[in-house]
Amino acid sequence: MNAPDRYERFVVPEGTKKVSYERDTKIINAASFTIEREDHTIGNIVRMQLHRDGNVLFAGYKLPHPLQYKIIVRVHTSSQSSPMQAYNLAINDLDKELDHLKAAFEAEVARVSGEY
Amino acid sequence: MEGASYQRFPKVKIRELKDDYAKFELRETDASVANALRRVMIAEVPTIAIDLVEIEVNSSVLNDEFIAHRLGLIPLTSERAMSMRFSRDCDACDGDGQCEFCSVEFHLRAKCINDQTLDVTSKDLYSSDHTVVPVDFSDTSSGFENPEDQRGITIVKLRKGQELRLRAIARKGIGKDHAKWSPAATVTFMYEPEIHINEEMMETLSLEEKTSVVESSPTKVFGINPHTQQVEVVDPEAYTYDDEVLKKVEAMGKPGLVEIYAKEDSFIFTVESTGAVKASQLVLNAIEVLKQKLDAVRLSEDTVEADDQFGELGAHMRGG
């Protein structure tokens, strides 16, 4: 009866930002990104990609509550980088990885369908 | 710092490809990417499914909402879905979701006039768009000996005098909203196992002991070569990470006789489609959807600007 609407899970409400950024007030080069209407799919790949960056001292994400459709990604970097820089780099790298994967998969499909 | 990159270049090898089935290897990436792909294939690749049903006449034994639910679950060919609009952000029809850009109309009329029961199936649905029709399994080798037996997916059965007449609207959606929009029947991946047999230690075993090692695995992973009588790995992928062989070897007092590792950058995917999109296309669509999702979580310009201002202010306040 009082269940939230199903679309609540993936439609960003009007007037809300998809990604908001908040610097840590006490630690330099630490920040949290709040990503609206995303879940483990994005959270985990971004976190793992951040771990590949040597300048990232800490990266983690959490889904605070199953009925709050947002994730919080926390990043802590060395002075060589900044959370924002590391976050952008991680997304760019993942994007390029998927470009490569797509091309590789298409080539495989062409190869396999050519065989028959 | 500029120009730094931690990008990977994953490798793909397709082992088997059919319209509704794909098996492939994915290497040189990590479990997070493999799992993201799996999750996207199941819940976020769009398809088209019946979403609104107006029933004119229903004198069948099933009630209206029961039939509406069954209609929703019928897979429709959805090659068009990626380029179609969601009704909720279609500006051509002010959100009533009944225009040609975001919907497809179906009609069904069936009446049983003789003593024989009439099966109303997905073949009785008439689509306003020839590219969006109920999935047809008859051309695939689905095990129906006689093509006459194959008449689509049964919706309801009618007895003499019963009638069903309705109009249905199909819309684009994703599995996260309702499972009827999921293009995937099953998507799984496993780590590729790496199985090592210590040959020297194995030589010290009697044939009975070797047989007991081979038989300790519930799936047929190992076998004994009939000529050399050596224990060999027959099918590493049959291993289900059950640890039974390792326990057996331990119990025999021969730890290290068999060692099994999961390769952490190598995955074997199996993808089964409902028929809404081809299995190969499903994977490609999933990659595309994941790319769009990543694009959506990029920081917006004003967030960066706001931080630049407050960042300097912050540095100032910290006594910089």
Mention every residue, 6+ apart, whose C-beta is less than 8 A from residue B91: none
Region B33-59: what's the mean pLDDT?
97
pLDDT digits (tens, 9 = 90+) for A29-83: 999 999 999 999 999 999 999 999 999 999 999 999 999 999 999 999 999 999 9
Q: Do B14 and A111 lie within an 8 Å CB cutoff? A: yes
The whole-chain average pLDDT of chain A stands at 94
Q: Are residues B86 and B120 in the same domain?
A: yes
Look up the domain containing B83 and give its range. Answer: 47-181
B60 found inside a domain: yes
Q: Are residues B151 and B247 in the same domain?
A: no
Q: Which member of B178, B284, B304 has the closest CB to residue A102?
A: B284
- Residue B39's pLDDT band, with cuts at 50, 70 and 90, is very high
3-class DSSP state for residue B147? helix
Q: Which member of A46, A84, A101 has the closest CB to residue B12?
A: A101
B123 DSSP assignment: G
Detail the DSSP E strand segments found in A1-116: 19-23, 30-36, 56-62, 70-77
- Dist. CA B157–CA B180, nearest whole Å: 22
A37 torsion bin: left (phi>0), alpha (psi -120 to 50), beta (else): left
* Final residue of a structural domain among B181, B209, B241: B181
Q: Which member of A23, A49, A53 has the closest CB to residue B314?
A: A23
The model's pTM is: 0.90
CB proximity A47 to B under 8 Å: yes
Region B35-48: what's the mean pLDDT?
97
Nearest Cα residue in chain A from B11: A104
Specify the range with the lowest mean pLDDT, choosing from A70-74, B102-106, B153-157, B312-316. Answer: B312-316
On whether the CB atoms of residues B46 and B292 are closer than 8 A, the answer is: no
Q: Is B148 exposed, middle or buried (0-12, 13-18, 19+ CB in 10 A)?
A: exposed
Number of domains, chain B: 2
**The CATH number of the domain where B236 resides is what?**
3.30.70
Biggest CA–CA distance in chain A, Å, is 63
CB proximity A70 to B under 8 Å: no
- Dist. CA B298–CA B295, nearest whole Å: 6
Instruction: Indicate the pairing of strand B126-127 with strand B184-197.
Output: unpaired
Q: Do B32 and A45 lie within an 8 Å CB cutoff? A: yes
pLDDT of residue B139: 56
pLDDT digits (tens, 9 = 90+) for B134-143: 998 765 555 5
pLDDT of residue B320: 43
Q: Do A101 and B14 lie within an 8 Å CB cutoff? A: no
Biggest CA–CA distance in chain B, Å, is 92
Structure tokens at B316: 């100032």
Tell me the chain A residues in contact with residue B307 when contact means C-beta distances shorter than 8 Å.
21, 23, 84
Chain A 85-104, residues with CB within 8 Å of chain B CB atoms: 85, 87-102, 104
Give this complex's ipTM: 0.96
pLDDT of residue B47: 97
- Dist. CA A37–CA A63, nearest whole Å: 10
- Dist. CA B272–CA B278, nearest whole Å: 9
The whole-chain average pLDDT of chain B stands at 90
pLDDT of residue B89: 80
> Which structural domains are found in chain A, ordered by start?
15-115 (3.30.1360.10)
pLDDT of residue B316: 54
